[in-house]
Structure 1
Amino acid sequence: MSYGGDLIREARKRAGLTQADLADRAGTAQPAIARWESGRTAVSLDDVIRLVRLCGLDLELHLVECDNSDLAQASRLAGLSGQQRLDRHARIARQLSGLRAAGSRG
């Protein structure tokens, strides 16, 4: 998976550009854009930022405190059987459906 390539593709699509359009703006060839987007060629963060900006967008990166809540939840669920996980997800889905229905009524 290439997160840089994914960001380039998303920015290009949001800007309504083809790979050839972006390549022209970047002064490179269309196959280079295709290789970056597909992850076949590594792309530096500097190049991702430059290409995103050429699409008229900007990339914001933020460092935030890690609360490990995802890890704690994964640890709690790791001990459940497959059926217990399915049952839990079904129960949560029912609860969410109930909340949506209640919200649409009033």
Structure 2
Amino acid sequence: MGTMGNDLVREARKRARLTQRELAELAGTTQSAIARLESGRTRPTFDSVLRMVRLCGMDLDVMLVERDDSDWVQAQRLLALTPAERVARAVRTARTMQRIRGGQRDDAA
């Protein structure tokens, strides 16, 4: 499952306020094995990650969803801008955000 699995186990353990030693006891393993897993020195299977997460009193919610490429499309559009155009766009966005936060109208800037 790669580093995502390692991160999920660490996050679940921390949210459950368990030490590595406590999780190891629940899992029937050693603290050093948990440390190796969390540090990415071992690559757990999906089933192992799910088991560890559940031992922490949590569960994983895995879903297949339609892919959304909107971020990639937006990034490609921004890459087509010159540096000056990017700066101008950023300034316009910052001014708009300031107006929104300050409750100002568009013509007040």
Shift of residue 101, structure 1, vs aligned partner: 3.4
Deviations 1:15-66 (A, max 9, x none): 0001111011001111111111111111111111110000001110111101
Using the size of structure 2 for normalisation, the TM-score is 0.80
The alpha-carbon deviation at position 83 of structure 1 amounts to 5.1
Query: What are the ranges of 5 or more consecutive residues in structure 1 without an aligned counterpart?
Result: none
Q: Which residue in 1 is equivalent to 2:21?
A: 20
What letter matches 2:23 in structure 1? L
**C-alpha displacement at 1:74, in angstroms?**
1.4
CA distance in 1 between partners of 2:97 and 2:74 (Å): 19
Q: 1:15 is matched by which residue type in structure 2?
A: A
Output the CA distance in 2 between the equivalents of 1:43 and 1:86. Answer: 44
- State how far apart, in whole Å, the 1-side matches of 2:70 and 2:44 are: 31
**How does 1:5-16 map onto structure 2 within 5 Å?**
5-16=6-17
**Take 1:34 and 1:80, find their aligned partners in 2: how far apart are those partners?**
46
Cα offset, 1:90, TM superposition = 4.3
Match of 1:74 in 2: 75
Give % identity: 54
For 1:82 and 1:24, locate their aligned partners in 2 and report how far apart those are by CA, in whole Å.
55
**Unmatched 5+ residue regions in structure 2?**
104-109
* Compared CA separation, residues 41 and 85, structure 1 to 2 (3 A): farther
Please, which moves more after superposition, 24-33 or 73-82? 73-82
